[in-house]
């Protein structure tokens, strides 16, 4: 992935803002009282798709129309947020969107993708198998295969980090969840483009810790499974291009359990009355775990999305 400049990210922001406004970031007082540090929350749960991915979808579609003007449509694999983002962006440009999800995927995320105009296909036992099927369907239907990681996706995602850093340029540390990696790579890209010293900490699930294992050993590691209710984190193997960026640019990677994530979802509700899905609460869960080290500091956490099924959320809140 080539290095992004501030100009690259600001150009992406102009495309993004044709579809949605910037999202808010607030330093919530009850989180500060609870954790003993200033906590800025970046509210990517307030985008039109309820998650940060929409930014990358918009930027990617602009690139696709420019570089591949004859394209009829796109196909991609997702657990939900990436798919909603592509469905909305493809629909805005009049392109067909075929989205592959693993069997037993979130019903509400599937419905949301259909609501934005996508055709949804259920295939495979997990995200990685769905990804293989998406590649096959791209060939069969002559559709453009959208990868889970691409420079244009990162460029779009980096716009949320640009907003956060413009509002709070003096953050000591930012915690960001890692699935396929566009989020953390976008934060690193924006930090570097702005010349800031902020430490970027990645967050994974203890049940899907491939990114952490890879970071700690310096070589790509795959896990046998990725069974966590935080579906945005449920990835068995890192994307090599993303790993190259966060291996160089992250300070460390922290793993949090489903129980810690559920507690962070409850804390978000209690202290800010915001809805967070599992992956969306992971960054706060990591900060809660490291609050002693962060005492007195200015910290950012990315609330990457709020798309959690009602039944799952009811169980967590109860």
- List per-residue pLDDT tens for the chain, 318 residues long: 789 999 999 999 999 999 999 999 999 999 999 999 999 999 999 999 999 999 999 999 999 999 999 999 999 998 888 899 999 999 988 999 999 999 999 889 899 999 999 999 999 998 889 999 999 999 999 999 998 889 999 999 999 999 999 999 999 999 999 999 999 999 999 999 999 999 999 999 999 899 999 999 999 999 988 889 888 898 989 999 999 999 999 999 999 999 999 999 999 999 999 999 999 999 999 999 999 999 999 999 999 999 999 999 999 999
What is the distance between the alpha carbons of residues 143 and 132, in angstroms, rounded to a whole number? 14
Render the burial of 192-210: b for 16+ CB within 10 Å, e for the rest. Answer: bbeebebbbbbbbbbbbbb
Give the pLDDT confidence score for residue 257 in this predicted structure.
97
Give the pLDDT confidence score for residue 231 in this predicted structure.
85
How many Cβ atoms are within 10 Å of 238's Cβ, its own excluded? 26
| Dihedral of the alpha carbons of 46, 52, 57, 59, in degrees to the nearest 10 | 100
Give the pLDDT confidence score for residue 186 in this predicted structure.
98
* Residue 275, burial from CB neighbour count under 10 angstroms (0-12, 13-18, 19+): buried
* Spatial contact of 149 and 239, defined as CB atoms under 8 Å apart: yes
In terms of phi and psi (left: phi > 0; alpha: psi -120 to 50; beta: otherwise), the region of 99 is: beta
Could you say which DSSP state residue 203 is in? E
Residues found in the chain = 318
Q: Which helix (H) or strand (E) holds 157?
A: helix 151-167
To 10 degrees, what angle do helices 6-16 and 151-167 make?
Answer: 90
Q: Any residues with CB less than 8 A from the CB of 106 and at least 6 apart, and which?
A: 79, 80, 231, 307, 309
Is 54-145 CATH 3.40.50.150?
no
Render the burial of 124-146: b for 16+ CB within 10 Å, e for the rest. Answer: bebbbbbbebbeebbeeeebbeb
Please provide residue 311's backbone torsions phi and psi, each rounded to the nearest 5 degrees.
-65, -40
Residues of the chain with CATH 3.40.50.1100: 6-51+151-317, 54-145
How many Cβ atoms are within 10 Å of 23's Cβ, its own excluded? 18
Distances in Å between the Cα of 291 and the Cα atoms of 85, 238, 285 are 33, 27, 10
Render the burial of 290-307: b for 16+ CB within 10 Å, e for the rest. Answer: bbeebeebbbbbbbbbbb
CATH class of 6-51+151-317: alpha beta
How many Cβ atoms are within 10 Å of 176's Cβ, its own excluded? 28
Give the pLDDT confidence score for residue 38 in this predicted structure.
98
Q: Determine how β-strand 38-43 pairs with β-strand 298-303.
A: parallel
| Dihedral of the alpha carbons of 165, 168, 173, 177, in degrees to the nearest 10 | -60
Give the pLDDT confidence score for residue 54 in this predicted structure.
95
pTM to 2 decimal places = 0.94
* Spatial contact of 67 and 74, defined as CB atoms under 8 Å apart: no
């Amino acid at each position: 992935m080539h290095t992004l400049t501030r100009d690259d990210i600001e150009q992406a922001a102009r495309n993004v803002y044709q579809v949605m406004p910037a999202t808010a970031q607030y330093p919530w007082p009850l989180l500060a009282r609870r954790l003993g540090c200033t906590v800025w929350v970046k509210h990517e749960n307030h985008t039109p798709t309820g998650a940060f991915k929409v930014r990358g979808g918009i930027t990617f579609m602009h690139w696709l129309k420019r570089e591949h003007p004859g394209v009829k449509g796109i196909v991609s694999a997702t657990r939900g947020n990436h798919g909603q983002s592509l469905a909305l962006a493809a629909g805005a440009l009049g392109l067909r969107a075929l989205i592959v999800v693993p069997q037993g995927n979130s019903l509400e995320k599937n419905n949301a993708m259909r609501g934005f105009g996508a055709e949804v296909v259920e295939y495979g036992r997990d995200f990685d198998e769905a990804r293989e099927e998406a590649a096959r369907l791209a060939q069969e239907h002559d559709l453009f295969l959208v990868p889970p990681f691409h420079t244009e996706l990162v460029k779009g995602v980096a716009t949320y980090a640009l907003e956060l850093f413009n509002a709070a340029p003096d953050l000591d540390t930012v915690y960001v969840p890692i699935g396929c990696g566009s989020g953390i790579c976008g934060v690193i890209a924006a930090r570097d483009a702005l010349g800031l010293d902020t430490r970027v900490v990645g967050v994974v699930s203890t049940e899907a810790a491939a990114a952490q294992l890879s970071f700690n050993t310096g070589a790509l590691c795959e896990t046998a499974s990725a069974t966590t209710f935080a579906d945005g984190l449920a990835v068995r193997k890192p994307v090599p291009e993303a790993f190259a960026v966060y291996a160089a640019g992250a300070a460390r990677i922290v793993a949090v359990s489903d129980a810690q994530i559920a507690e962070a979802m409850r804390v978000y509700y209690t202290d800010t009355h915001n809805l967070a899905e599992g992956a969306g609460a992971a960054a706060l869960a990591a900060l809660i775990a490291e609050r002693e080290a962060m005492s007195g500091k200015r910290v950012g956490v990315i609330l990457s999305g709020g798309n959690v099924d009602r039944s799952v959320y009811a169980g967590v809140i109860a």
